Chain A
Amino acid sequence: MKTKIYVPDIECDSCVKLISRKLKNVQGISSTKFSDDSVEISYDDGMVKTDHIINTIKDAGYRASTEPFDRKTLGERWKEFRELKHKYDIERTGLSYVVYAFFILAAIEAVAYFGFFSAIPNFFKDYGIWLFYLNLSVVTLGAATWHFLAYKGKVTCMTGMMIGMTFGMQAGMMLGAVIGATNGFFIGSMVGMLVGNAVGIITGKSGGVMGVMQGMMSGLMGGTMGPMISLMMFSDHLLLFMPFYMIINVAILAGFSYMMYEEVVEGKMVEKNPIDFWTFISGCIIFTAVMVTIMILGPKSLLFGGI
């Protein structure tokens, strides 16, 4: 008897070898033929059932089914998100963390303003809007990282590269643009590049060496491009440009979390182990404090009155 089992997570030769090894140990299977996203199996149905073959592939960490894996449309996903609260508990928690963290950071900065920052001439004019964008960058990057770390799923090569690339690029682009706008190209690039690389390496590691490389390259690229955008647009409607820029960056992070769920979580038995709120908010506060210190005390380009 022949059956076709869909295995959409097959991405490389090692995946084929691993699944082949697992299937070799199943008695009753006479041959296997792999294609891009499926495996055709000849077997003796008196000795083995299709369900057992599917479970063997699933045990190796891959999705498997006799039916093709149709992806849900955005509309279907949204409907499910509203109706199946338990299924999306991690995502709901993450969204609430974004809101709480944003307001907590804003509250701490408001206290700091009346305590210290108001003594700095033109503080609100020079830094006000950039603190808003900094908070937005920190909480959205932090929440996307939190969401990614909450699931202990198997990350394939391709997804790992996408993870490293997205985090490296977005961290560099968002933070680089903010620090570049307050301090200039040098310190903006240094912060964007170093943070982008660090985030890219840490997250890209999930996909192996390729993910790390992708994370580093994207951190380098995003970290230097972010401040470049701010500086190049400084005398050309930068403040009008920034809301659009930030909305698109946040949308990319939201899209990343959506993709991560589709590729790593949906249809798989994935362990959930989310970081608690106090660890999350502590990380956001410490990181924001370092960024604000750099913004205020860090070197500034001549354009910003530096020396």
Chain B
Amino acid sequence: MELKIEGMHCNSCVMLIKDVLEEAGASDVKVMIGKASFDKLDVKKAKELIVAEGYKVK
């Protein structure tokens, strides 16, 4: 699964989103500025979690 994320601007954003997704049970989480890819987590749930942290998800 891959999501495009708006509003990320630094490494702390990258680490924050990675932490959020991993805590929710996602595996193989890879986050870069502007996008995140992961497995084993519902896309809708992932979007909700990322939006809750103040980012926009496309």
Contact = CB atoms under 8 A, between A and B. Distances in A.
Given A13-B54, A208-B33, A18 B10 contact: no
Interface residues on B, range: 10 to 19
Nearest to B12: A14
A60 B14 CA distance: 12
B8 interface: yes
A212 B11 CA distance: 13
A18 B33 contact: no
A208 B11 contact: yes
Given A208-B33, A209-B33, A14 B10 contact: yes
A40 interface: no
Given A17-B53, A60-B15, A156 B10 contact: yes
A157 B14 CA distance: 12
A209 B16 contact: no
B16 A21 contact: yes
The B interface, classified by DSSP as helix, strand, loop or mixed, is helix
Contacts of B13: 14, 208
Contacts of A11: 10, 12
Contact of B9 (A17, A18, A60, A208): A208
A156 B33 CA distance: 13
Interface in B2-57: 8-16, 19-20, 23, 33, 53-54
A13 B8 CA distance: 11
A17 B10 CA distance: 13
A247 B35 CA distance: 42
B22 to A, nearest CB: 11
Contact of B10 (A21, A60, A160): A160
B15 A156 contact: no
Contacts of B14: 208
B9 A61 contact: no
A157 B13 CA distance: 10
